[in-house]
Amino acid sequence: MRAISQDMHGTPEVLAQVTLARPAPAPGQILVGVRAAGVNPTDWKHRAAGLFLGRLPLVLGWDVSGVVEAVGFGVTLFKPGDEVFGMLPYPHGVGSHAEYATGPARAFAHKPVGIDHVQAGALPLAALTAHQAIVDTAGVRAGQRVLIHAAAGGVGHLAVQIAKSRGAYVIGTAGAPKHGFVRSLGADEVIDYRTTDFRDAAQDIDMVLDPLSGDTRARSLDVLRPGGVLVSLLPGADPDEAAKAHALGETGRTTGKIVLTVPGE
Ligand X SMILES: NC(=O)c1ccc[n+]([C@@H]2O[C@H](COP(=O)([O-])OP(=O)(O)OC[C@H]3O[C@@H](n4cnc5c(N)ncnc54)[C@H](OP(=O)(O)O)[C@@H]3O)[C@@H](O)[C@H]2O)c1
Kindly list the residues in this chain that would bind ligand X in the complex (CB under 6 A): 40-42, 125-126, 129, 149-150, 152-156, 173-175, 178, 193, 211-212, 216, 233-234, 265
Nearer to ligand X, 203 or 254 (CB): 203
Cβ distance to ligand X smaller for residue 24 or 51:
51
Shortest distance (Å) from residue 16 CB to ligand X? 23
CB of 162 to ligand X, least distance (A): 13
Closer CB to ligand X, 125 or 223, in the complex: 125
Alpha-carbon distance 243 to 248, whole Å? 9
Q: Which is nearer to ligand X, 54 or 177 (CB)?
A: 177
Cβ–Cβ under 8 Å, residues 87 and 62 = yes
- Cβ 233 to ligand X, closest distance in Å? 4
- Between CA 187 and CA 181 the distance in angstroms is 9
Nearer to ligand X, 31 or 125 (CB): 125
Distance CA 265, CA 41 (A): 13
